Amino acid sequence: MKMYQFLKVRHHKEFMHDIQSLFVKNIIGNTQARIKERGTAFAPSNIALCKYWGKRDAALNLPINSSLSISLGHLGTRTELRVCDEDVVYLNGQLQSLDADFAQRISVFLDLFRPALGTVHFEVRTENNIPTAAGLASSASGFAALVMALDDLAGWGLDKKELSMLARLGSGSASRSVFDGFVQWHAGDKPDGTDSFAEKLPIEWPEFRIGILELSTAKKPIGSRDGMNRTVETSELYKSWPKQAAANLETLRTAIENHDFPSLGETAECNALSMHATMMAAWPPLIYLQPETIEQIHKVQRVRSEGLEVFLTMDAGPNIKLLFLEENETAVSAAFPDLKMIKPFGAEE
Ligand code: DP6
């Protein structure tokens, strides 16, 4: 990297850090920390039915559109924090190199909170119980669990709205993982980000099922963050996305309130495919779908035309998540034998 490019990147990082630090300071305010020996928390992973795709502010991680997700019950991340002499990060029992992306992202995020706690370092132990093979992103549950564990350790007693805003700084989708069940992340429109937080919808739907179809474990050529930035900057189709997402979100809310599954399924599937259309119209094009993905999309359409009520959604990757109800569990499992079945409202199995 040339020297002036390096300086530009460094200044950019410092600028982001300063803005985020101020945001954190405003939320924690003068709340006195009473640091305990250990802080722990669990946060569920989540899958968006109306996707977050596009940022209006990179530093505060503010989205262009509101989104709506379902949390995955007991599947997610458990994190334990202890104060110690230097940062140490474990993932599923394995010590992580501090230079690697995973530990770096955690350490940079923790930097935002150190001033409020004195000069401290942490031992971070994080366990994901989502099979990595299921191809589900863990940054959402990871940052939500980290913020909640910090709150537990420091004894700040922050409310869920505040925790959601803090988790958002780590990863946008993490703002939704602070809650169970159906969750809406309000995009907000204030430049200071104080009206951009997630909220739980007070509706249970115990018959709701999600099936993960793991189709490829290949590393994604480009992550969500860069992918959405490229889409916003270059995709002509992105211009229609905010309006569509707003309309989809309203339809989804009504469908959830009325337990209207066909309306929910159609809207979620259309929303996911529309997001992929905006990505494909970016330059260079973003094509996360693999041949197996296309094959399974056609299969979902075929079994649906034969009368099975099953819909799909996808994130920035090649894997498919099927949406269906308990009454069709057996039929969906028969049609898609390698499915990993999730009961978002179910008790731990
Ligand atoms: C396609 O939350 O991973 O999964 O805020 O940059 O960390 P950052 O992005 P991230 O993006 C998630 C994108 C998505 C849709 C969604 O979960 O809403």
Measured by CA distance, the residue closest to atom 7 of ligand 1 is 171
Atom of ligand 1 nearest to the CA of 140: 2
Distance of CA 189 from the midpoint of ligand 1 (Å): 19
What is the rounded distance in angstroms from the CA atom of residue 70 to the CA atom of residue 75?
12
Distance of CA 59 from the midpoint of ligand 1 (Å): 15
Instruction: Please give all residues whose beta carbon lies within 6 A of any atom in ligand 1, as ranges.
Output: 48, 51-52, 61, 67, 137, 139, 171-173, 224-225, 315-316
Distance of CA 86 from the midpoint of ligand 1 (Å): 30
At residue 117, the pLDDT reads 86
At residue 138, the pLDDT reads 77
Distance of CA 171 from the midpoint of ligand 1 (Å): 7
- Choose the residue to mutate in 45, 52, 168 for probing ligand 1, maximizing ligand atoms within 8 Å of C-beta: 52
Q: Which sign does the torsion angle of CA 219, 140, 246, 343 carry?
A: positive
Contact between 127 and 36 (Cβ < 8 Å): no
Atom of ligand 1 nearest to the CA of 52: 18
Residue spans of beta strands (DSSP E) within the chain: 38-50, 55-57, 62-63, 67-84, 88-91, 94-95, 121-128, 182-185, 198-200, 208-213, 311-313, 320-325, 340-342
pLDDT mean by block of 10 residues, the chain; 349 residues: 58 86 92 88 97 97 98 96 94 94 93 88 93 66 97 96 98 97 98 97 97 85 92 98 98 98 98 98 96 97 98 95 98 95 83
- Choose the residue to mutate in 46, 182, 186, 224 for probing ligand 1, maximizing ligand atoms within 8 Å of C-beta: 224
At residue 220, the pLDDT reads 77
Atom of ligand 1 nearest to the CA of 223: 3
At residue 292, the pLDDT reads 95
Distance of CA 48 from the midpoint of ligand 1 (Å): 9
- The residues, any chain, with a CB within 8 Å of residue 27's CB and separated by 6 or more, are 158, 162, 165, 166
Distance of CA 173 from the midpoint of ligand 1 (Å): 5
Number of residues assigned to the chain: 349
Measured by CA distance, the residue closest to atom 12 of ligand 1 is 173
Distance of CA 2 from the midpoint of ligand 1 (Å): 31
Distance of CA 280 from the midpoint of ligand 1 (Å): 17
At residue 104, the pLDDT reads 94
What is the rounded distance in angstroms from the CA atom of residue 248 to the CA atom of residue 257?
14
- Choose the residue to mutate in 173, 220, 320 for probing ligand 1, maximizing ligand atoms within 8 Å of C-beta: 173
Atom of ligand 1 nearest to the CA of 172: 5
Using the CB atoms, write b or e for 64-79: b if 16+ within 10 Å. bbbbbbbbbbbbbbbb
Distance of CA 127 from the midpoint of ligand 1 (Å): 20
What is the rounded distance in angstroms from the CA atom of residue 194 to the CA atom of residue 179?
18
At residue 3, the pLDDT reads 56
Measured by CA distance, the residue closest to atom 6 of ligand 1 is 225
Atom of ligand 1 nearest to the CA of 63: 5
Atom of ligand 1 nearest to the CA of 46: 17
